[in-house]
Structure 1
Amino acid sequence: MKSEEKKEKEPFHALAYRVLGEKIEALIPHVEDLRIALRKAGIPISLRAYASMMVFTSIVVFIAMSTTISTMLYAAVHNVYAIMAGIGIGLLAGAGTFWGLYLYPSIKASSRGRKLDSSLPYVVSLMAILASAGIPPERIFRSLIYADAKLHIQDEAREIVRDIEIFGKDVITVLSERAMYSPSKLLRDLYEGLISTARSGGDLRRYLYSQARMFMRMKRVMMRKSLESLAMLAEIYVALLIAMPLVFSIMLAVMSTLGGGPINPVMTLRVLTYLAIPLLSIVFLILLDSTMPREA
């Protein structure tokens, strides 16, 4: 019964690796950069297993899309070109899936780095308070495991404590390794500063307090820039998606009463209303989402 339950709960990447296994060895050198990206993204999957999942998922998507699209097109037009078109669409879908899975670890690492950068002033302030109480670095990182989930530091602290307590590594070695795979440049700089302070016998409390003040200043500057960007985007939105459609609507209404000339005012107004404005709104929302910080 237990072996059956284990088989039912087998992760998808493990299934892909079991199916493909050594068949993708030739691919590994071409995706070697994913090894660091997976570590930075916090994805606990080996490079070979993830590469197997990429190939396996792409094949599944290709087969599913080719079969579905070819069947639908052939039923509609009864032509052999429909099957070829379905295969072509399936190839595009499979290639898009492979490329998307290839980019996913980097995107997740970037998102994780932004969250860490946003919460770092509060994390370092907490570390400075603990250091001022005479708590050693090992226990400081253990305390961070139980910090507020909004600080996004629990996974980092958990891996540091694991390496120290289970694998028996010293703090300097662990911080050096974490700095190498940290998705946040600010956190990487903090680790390197902690290493330098420990090696030189410096005052840990003073270093953490100075870093906390510096990170807080950087956060204030970043929030000020975000507000300025938001004000600029608001002006663009009013001009592009409120004022300009009104002006065009009035112009087209006047043109329709005067005959319109070579331009069809009604068709142009429909394109503006049902296509241009929604597309511009989607582009604006994507721009706003990528510009504004998600964390306060």
Structure 2
Amino acid sequence: MIGVLKSREIDGKKRQPSSFQVFSYRLLNRYLHFLYPRLPRLRENIRQSMMPVPFEVFVANMVLSSIIAAIVGLVATISASIVFNLTPVATIILILVGSIGCSGGTFAIMQVIPAINVKTRAAKLSEEIPHYIGYMATLCASGLSLEGIFKSIAKENAAEEVVRDAKFVTRNIEILGMDVVTAISDLIKRTPNGPYSELLEGAIITFRSGGNLREYFLATAKVHLEEKKISVKRSTESLGIMAELYTILLIVFPLMAVIMLSIMAIMNPNLGGFDLITLMNMLTYILVPLFGIVLLLMMNSMVPKR
């Protein structure tokens, strides 16, 4: 029990802004009001990714990080100009390019992070939905209401997105005093467009119209399970292609290359300025392991995580 409480406490700390983010907000907030209306897409991405950082705090963090990156780029370029003894014109150009490049690159990268988080969250939800819809239907069959369903899922000790969303809905109901429809509607605004948001919208419509939630979840589960089967079938076909690539790149290609280099060594010990023994070593210890790593990463991205 103590371990569970400690894990929840640690998770709660992770779901809060860092000290640096809070410091940047206190330092720059009064100067950034003009910038907030210019970043509507960033605000939407932060909301849909369920990041534990308010929009204003994240923007202040972006600006302060960009300023620090500009200072670091300035110091680095000045040091480089002194070391290489550049001309004044070249030094000025290098300083401008280095400082502006570091600052702009930091700002752009931090602006992309929420969008990446939205895509990651959408992918996780798509994987989890087929497994949780059946659970929701079972809870409905046991006599629980829509509110009881989310509260039951919120009690699960898991880090999955559906469980976190259920905890969010439960918090809205129990702490903020929302009704279940308003709480789920708030969750829909923070959810990427896709099957999960459609599921929540359908649940609200069914609940409001007095329909049978169990039948709704069962019908939706059938659709998602069929889509899951199609997705798994496509993944299997893709893995078949990866198996052929594995055979070509890690078995056939090294053997053919070694045979060709061995035959060429009889006529000429060098190829393009390289010793053929060196080329064989590069093939064995660099190219083949590199191909293996690339194939492993590709297969890991294709295999469903659950």
Please classify the TM superposition score into its range, dividing by the shorter chain length: 0.7 to 0.9
- Indicate the larger mover: 137-146 or 120-129: 120-129
Using the alignment, how far apart are the partners of 1:70 and 1:257 within structure 2? 54
Question: Does residue 231 of the first structure (1) align with residue 240 of the second (2)?
Answer: yes
Q: Which residue of 2 aligns with 1:27?
A: 35
Matches within 5 A, 1:120-135: 120-135=129-144
> Quick one: distance in 2 between partners of 1:129 and 1:135?
9
Q: 2:150 aligns with which of 135, 138, 141?
A: 141
Closer, same or farther: CA 196–23 of 1 in aligned 2, 3 Å: same
Instruction: Say if 1:179 and 1:192, in contact at 8 Å, map to a contact too.
Output: yes
TM-score of the aligned structures, taking structure 2 as reference length: 0.80
Question: How far apart are the structure 2 equivalents of 1:78 and 1:125?
Answer: 70
CA distance in 1: counterparts of 2:172 and 2:53, whole angstroms: 18
CA-CA distance at 1:218 after TM superposition:
2.4
Deviation at 1:275, TM superposition (A): 6.2
Greater mean alpha carbon deviation, residues 244-253 or residues 28-37? 244-253
Does 2:294 match 1:287?
Answer: no
Q: Residues of 2 paired with 1:203 and 1:92: CA distance?
A: 58
- Is the 1:256–1:266 Cα contact (8 Å) retained in structure 2? no
For structure 2, list consecutive stretches of 5 or more residues without a partner in the other structure.
1-16
Contact 2:151 2:170 in 1 (8 A): yes
Single out whichever of 92-101 and 277-286 deviates more from structure 2: 277-286
Q: 1:78 — aligned with what?
A: 85
2:67 corresponds, among 59, 63, 79, to 59
Q: Which of 121, 125, 129 is the equivalent residue of 1:112?
A: 121
Mapped contact 2:134–2:221 kept (Cα < 8 A): yes
Query: What secondary structure, in the 3-state scheme, does the structure 1 residue paired with 2:139 have?
Result: helix
Contact 1:255 1:265 in 2 (8 A): no
> Secondary structure of 2:178's match?
coil
Partners of 2:73 and 2:282 in 1: CA distance: 31
Determine helix, strand or coil for the equivalent of 1:149: coil
Deviation (angstroms), 1:178 = 1.9
Secondary structure (helix, strand or coil) at the match of 1:245 reads: helix
Number of the residue aligned with 2:109: 100
**Aligned position for 2:6:** none
**Structure 1 residues 69 and 287 mapped into 2: Cα distance closer, same or farther (>3 Å)?**
farther
Please say which of residues 66-75 and 186-195 is displaced more in the overlay: 66-75
Relative to structure 1, the CA distance from residue 28 to residue 117 in structure 2 (aligned partners, 3 Å threshold; closer, same or farther) is same
Farther off after superposition, 159-168 or 258-267:
258-267
Give secondary structure in 2 for the equivalent of 1:42.
Answer: coil
Instruction: For residue 285 of structure 1, report the CA deviation from its aligned partner.
Output: 4.3
* 2:26 paired with 1:18: yes
Match of 1:49 among 46, 54, 57: 57
The question of 1:36 aligning with 2:44 is answered yes
Q: Measure the CA separation in 2 of the matches of 1:272 and 1:92.
A: 37
The 1-side partners of 2:169 and 2:222 are apart by 24
TM superposition score normalised by structure 1: 0.83
- Which segment drifts farther, 227-236 or 91-100? 91-100
Secondary structure of the 1:79 match is coil
Runs (5+) with no aligned partner, structure 1:
1-8
Is residue 142–residue 161 contact of structure 1 (8 Å, CA) maintained in 2?
yes
RMSD: 2.9
How many aligned positions are there? 286
CA deviation string 1:225-261 (max 9, x = no partner): 2222122112113213442233233323322331278
Q: Check the 8 A contact 1:117/1:184 in 2, yes or no.
A: no
For residue 186 of structure 2, what is the aligned residue in structure 1?
Answer: 177
Partner residue, 1:243: 252
CA distance in 2, matches of 1:94, 1:280: 35
